[in-house]
């Protein structure tokens, strides 16, 4: 089975072709991503109208490149998948309409996929992880601990009460004068810094429900940065390292509590799976590896390029849904808001 995946929810335009392996898991035949960083950098964040136009401009040629790289034609595909939400409506319309058109002309099934489900299932493409598993979904728009029981069967265990973790990285980076996008820039800046230079708060640490809160930590960084301004490069590095250390402590503590909540819902987890852009962070990955070792549950984190937004995760989610006969109707409308929960 081979499926084309299209991703346009935010500021990456992506197309990929993935094949189902006979032994399970997926083989990526092509995976092309065109980031819009240059278009948005001037504004310090994603401008929805610019994003939508940039998707229109490059999507057709990205799909052509993906098909050529995979050495397949539309006829060779078994389905066409695209993110149908949640995300910016302009981008969703571009990706979903393109997918519908290709599916219509090639008479292939359409898979209108939830972008969060695509993040959630990526570890099954890369590592053939069995259900059920604990998912830590940490991206720019979402911070959730989820019991993944099956395709389309998700139970929310915890979420953020305010900012998403990626959003906190982006906002702290911006306030410290680091370039957009903030997460990777902050991680780089933290390299030379001292993670114990500033004792920032660890919000929610020790709370019994596996929820997150990031806004107090973000404010603490701002107050400290204001207090010691003007900031030297060393001070920025120390602020970044100390912020990152606080985030990591919170992530590990909340995920540990999430494992306990998981046991009550679904018994023993087959794995702890991290997904979303923040899972590309090396310090976060190392800390989760320690938690996994301590708890005896294997950790699975897809390679960084498959943690951030990409087309392969859409193609894979399409394969999983197609395999269960879950193709979608051409009347399927894009959903800017679309929670992951409940059975499909
Ligand atoms: O999953 P993603 O590519 O897009 C969605 O939000 O769906 O995640 C993007 C988020 C951004 O907030 C970005 O700053 C953050 O993930 N991010 C990182 C790193 N790479 C991306 N945060 C911390 N460290 C990183 N290396
Ligand atoms: Zn994403």
- On whether both 108 and 135 belong to a single domain, the answer is no
- On whether both 175 and 109 belong to a single domain, the answer is no
- On whether both 298 and 315 belong to a single domain, the answer is no
Determine whether the shortest distance from the Cβ of 10 to ligand 1 is under 6 A: yes
Determine whether the shortest distance from the Cβ of 85 to ligand 1 is under 6 A: no
Tell me if residue 258 falls in helix, strand or coil. Answer: helix
For residues 28-52, average pLDDT = 91
CA distances from 73 to 60, 151, 291 (A): 14, 28, 44
CA of 307 relative to ligand 2 center, distance in Å: 8
Q: Under a CB-based contact definition with an 8 Å cutoff, are residues 41 and 54 in contact?
A: no
**Nearest-angstrom CA–CA distance, 39 and 51:** 8
- On whether both 284 and 136 belong to a single domain, the answer is yes
Determine whether the shortest distance from the Cβ of 278 to ligand 1 is under 6 A: yes
Q: Under a CB-based contact definition with an 8 Å cutoff, are residues 29 and 4 in contact?
A: no
Identify the sign of the CA torsion 269, 256, 343, 314: negative
Q: Residues with Cβ < 8 Å from 39, sequence gap 6 or more?
A: 11, 47, 50, 51, 54
CA of 139 relative to ligand 2 center, distance in Å: 6
Determine whether the shortest distance from the Cβ of 91 to ligand 1 is under 6 A: no
CA of 342 relative to ligand 2 center, distance in Å: 20
- On whether both 196 and 112 belong to a single domain, the answer is no
Name which residue sits closest to atom 23 of ligand 1, judged by CA: 183
- On whether both 244 and 214 belong to a single domain, the answer is yes
Determine whether the shortest distance from the Cβ of 83 to ligand 1 is under 6 A: no
Question: What letter would DSSP give residue 75?
Answer: G
Q: Under a CB-based contact definition with an 8 Å cutoff, are residues 36 and 13 in contact?
A: yes
pLDDT in tens, 259-295: 999 999 999 999 999 999 999 999 999 999 999 999 9
Q: Percent of the chain, pLDDT > 70?
A: 99
- On whether both 288 and 325 belong to a single domain, the answer is no
Cα-flanking dihedrals φ and ψ of residue 309, to 5°? -60, 135
Name which residue sits closest to atom 13 of ligand 1, judged by CA: 183
> Which atom of ligand 1 is the closest one to the Cα of 166?
12
Region of poorest pLDDT, from 186-190, 211-215, 338-342:
338-342
For residues 177-189, average pLDDT = 95
- On whether both 153 and 288 belong to a single domain, the answer is yes
For residues 165-180, average pLDDT = 96
- On whether both 156 and 185 belong to a single domain, the answer is yes
- On whether both 192 and 338 belong to a single domain, the answer is no
pLDDT in tens, 111-135: 999 999 999 999 999 999 999 999 9
Please give the pLDDT value at position 180: 85
Determine whether the shortest distance from the Cβ of 187 to ligand 1 is under 6 A: yes
CA distances from 90 to 4, 49, 93, 141, 248 (A): 21, 7, 5, 17, 34
- On whether both 53 and 144 belong to a single domain, the answer is no
Number of domains within the chain: 2
- Asked whether the predicted pLDDT for residue 344 surpasses 60, the reply is no
- Asked whether the predicted pLDDT for residue 343 surpasses 60, the reply is no
Range of the domain at 223: 131-304
Tell me if residue 17 falls in helix, strand or coil. Answer: strand
How many Cβ atoms are within 10 Å of 179's Cβ, its own excluded? 14
pLDDT in tens, 197-238: 999 999 999 999 999 999 999 999 999 999 999 999 999 999
CA of 290 relative to ligand 1 center, distance in Å: 22
For residues 316-331, average pLDDT = 98
Q: Under a CB-based contact definition with an 8 Å cutoff, are residues 340 and 156 in contact?
A: yes
How many Cβ atoms are within 10 Å of 196's Cβ, its own excluded? 10
CATH classification at residue 13: 3.30.420.40
Question: What letter would DSSP give residue 82?
Answer: E
Q: How many residues does the chain have?
A: 344
Mean pLDDT for the chain overall: 96
- Split at pLDDT 50, 70, 90, the class of 21 is very high
Helix axes 282-295, 182-190, angle to 10 degrees: 80
- Asked whether the predicted pLDDT for residue 67 surpasses 90, the reply is yes
Please give the pLDDT value at position 341: 86
CA of 225 relative to ligand 2 center, distance in Å: 30
CA of 166 relative to ligand 1 center, distance in Å: 5
**Nearest-angstrom CA–CA distance, 294 and 176:** 35
pLDDT in tens, 76-101: 999 999 999 999 999 999 999 999 99
Please give the pLDDT value at position 342: 63
Show the DSSP H helices in 267-295 as ranges.
282-295
Nearest ligand, CA of residue 314? 2
Nearest ligand, CA of residue 164? 1
Please give the pLDDT value at position 97: 98
- On whether both 235 and 253 belong to a single domain, the answer is yes
């Amino acid at each position: 089975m081979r499926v084309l995946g299209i991703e346009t929810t935010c500021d990456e335009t992506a197309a990929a072709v993935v094949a189902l392996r006979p032994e399970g898991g997926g083989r990526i035949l092509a995976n092309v991503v065109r980031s819009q960083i240059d278009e948005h950098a001037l504004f310090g964040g994603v401008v929805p109208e610019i994003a939508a136009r940039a998707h229109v401009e490059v999507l057709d040629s990205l799909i052509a490149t993906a098909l050529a790289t995979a050495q397949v034609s539309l006829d060779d595909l078994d389905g066409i998948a695209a993110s149908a939400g949640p995300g910016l409506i302009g981008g969703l319309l571009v990706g979903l309409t393109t997918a519908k058109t290709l599916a219509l002309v090639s008479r292939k099934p359409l898979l209108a996929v939830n972008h969060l489900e695509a993040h959630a299932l990526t570890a099954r493409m890369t590592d053939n992880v069995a259900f059920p598993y604990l998912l830590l979904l940490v991206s720019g728009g979402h911070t959730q601990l989820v019991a993944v029981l099956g395709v389309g069967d998700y139970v929310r265990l915890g979420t953020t009460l305010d900012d998403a973790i990626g959003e906190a990285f982006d906002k702290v980076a911006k306030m410290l004068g680091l370039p957009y996008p903030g997460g990777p820039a902050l991680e780089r800046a933290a390299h030379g810094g001292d993670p114990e230079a500033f004792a920032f708060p660890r919000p929610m640490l020790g709370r019994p429900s596996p929820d997150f809160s990031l806004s107090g930590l973000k404010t603490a960084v701002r107050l400290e940065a204001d207090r010691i301004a003007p900031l030297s490069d060393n001070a920025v590095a120390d602020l970044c390292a100390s912020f990152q250390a606080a985030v990591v402590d919170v992530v590990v503590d909340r995920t540990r509590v999430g494992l306990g909540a998981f046991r009550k819902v679904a018994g023993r987890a087959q794995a702890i799976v991290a997904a979303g852009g923040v899972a590309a962070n090396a310090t976060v990955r190392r800390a989760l590896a320690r938690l996994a070792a301590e708890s005896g549950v294997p950790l699975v984190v897809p390679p960084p390029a498959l943690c951030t937004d990409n087309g392969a995760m859409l193609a894979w989610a399409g394969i999983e849904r197609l395999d269960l006969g879950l193709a979608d109707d051409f009347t399927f409308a894009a959903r800017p808001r679309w929670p992951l929960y409940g059975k499909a």
